[in-house]
Amino acid sequence: MIRYALKCEAGHAFESWFKSAGAYEALRGAGHVACPDCGSAAVEKELMAPAVASGQARAADRAAALAELKRKVEENADYVGMNFVAEARAMHAGERPERSIYGEARPEEAIALLEEGVPVAPLPFLPTRKTN
């Protein structure tokens, strides 16, 4: 859907929603886009700024998404803290049953795990247990 600011030949300004730019052009060409004030079908698009989320709105959206990710990880994985590297290696080697875990590792340890073929990824938050 796309919203256009429109203006008729009499100068009345109004807005309307259309399925697409092509739909607007087809409806306008057929005389189906008319001014709600005077009924004129001589309608043109006005210059308008796109609807862009503000910096605060984007930050709030990111914070909400991050909180949801954290909730899902903490709900579905076991926190192993500083034992993360040992646990990940043991699971990869088949010495422990596989399960979802998260914990802490130094960057060089995480790189070593990746080089060994152990699938790991950094999380963009601190565990709840770590922040208390």
Cβ pair 117, 89 in contact under 8 A: no
φ, ψ for residue 18, nearest 5 deg: -135, 155
- Of the chain, the percentage scoring pLDDT greater than 70 comes to 93
Prediction pTM value: 0.55
What is the pLDDT at residue 51? 66
- Residue 92's pLDDT band (cuts 50, 70, 90): very high
Query: Which alpha helices (DSSP H) does 13-131 contain, by range?
Result: 21-29, 55-76, 84-92, 107-115, 128-131
